[in-house]
Amino acid sequence: MPKKIPLRQCLGCREMKPKKELIRVVRSPEGEISLDFKGKKPGRGAYLCPDPECLKRVRKSRALERAFSAQMPDGVYDALEAQMKEGGDG
């Protein structure tokens, strides 16, 4: 029996992908948004491909605002983009 692979939907391209291939975006209990490459940070999570194009789509569609029911402070997307470039090796 093959193991069931947990799938999550990327907020950018809306494709279902294995959870471990996606980056978790987490909103901490304090309301801070950051990327969670290890999937261990506390808080509410959303998923995104490790692809700046998906980040752009999310930015445009405001999918993160909807996922977290919160305003994204100025600069959050730039910070996420920077984190994505730095931490992109998985």
Given the rule CB under 5 A, which residues bind Zn ion?
10, 12-13, 49, 54
* Among 35, 5, 34, 4, residue whose Cα is nearest residue 20: 5
Cβ-based neighbour number of residue 48 at 10 Å: 26
Cβ-based neighbour number of residue 25 at 10 Å: 26
| Least distance to Zn ion, CB of residue 17, Å | 7
CB closer to Zn ion, 10 vs 33: 10
CB closer to Zn ion, 13 vs 72: 13
CB closer to Zn ion, 13 vs 76: 13
